Amino acid sequence: MDQVFLYCALYIGMLMLLSLYRGAFGPTVPDRLIGVNAIGSKTVVLLILIGLLYERVDMFVDISLAYALLNFIAVLAASKYFQKRKGLYEE
């Protein structure tokens, strides 16, 4: 079963790299926000997978809950900031 978890973690890492393309080269600023949000929501899953691989789920589930909170607040703050700025033109 560890093998299955390991390959699942590698696959999620590959999906995060693909989402990083949108975060790095997205034509507008909200596109980058979408990429960062997708990476963050996959990280929450990946943290619990790491906990299952190390057999310390009770510790890693707290870390992933804190990371979910941080991700939510970061995206809210960034979108609030870019709401006031009128500079979201295409680059």
Partner 1 sequence: MDILVTILMICGLVFLTGGTVGILRFPDFYSRLQPAGKLDTLGTLLLMGAFAIYNLHHFTLPNVLTSLKIMLVVVFIFLSSPTAVHAIVDAGMRAGLMPWFKGSKRR
Binding site for partner 1 (CB under 8 A): 1, 4, 8, 11-12, 15, 18-19, 21-22, 27-28, 30-31, 33-35, 37-38, 41-42, 44-45, 48-49, 52, 57-58, 61-62, 64-65, 68-69, 71-72, 75-76, 79-80, 82-83, 85-88, 90
Q: How far apart are CB 52 and partner 1 at their closest, in Å?
A: 6
Euclidean distance between CA atoms 79 and 91, whole angstroms: 18
Q: How far apart are CB 40 and partner 1 at their closest, in Å?
A: 9
Burial (Cβ within 10 Å: 0-12, 13-18, ≥19) of residue 10: exposed
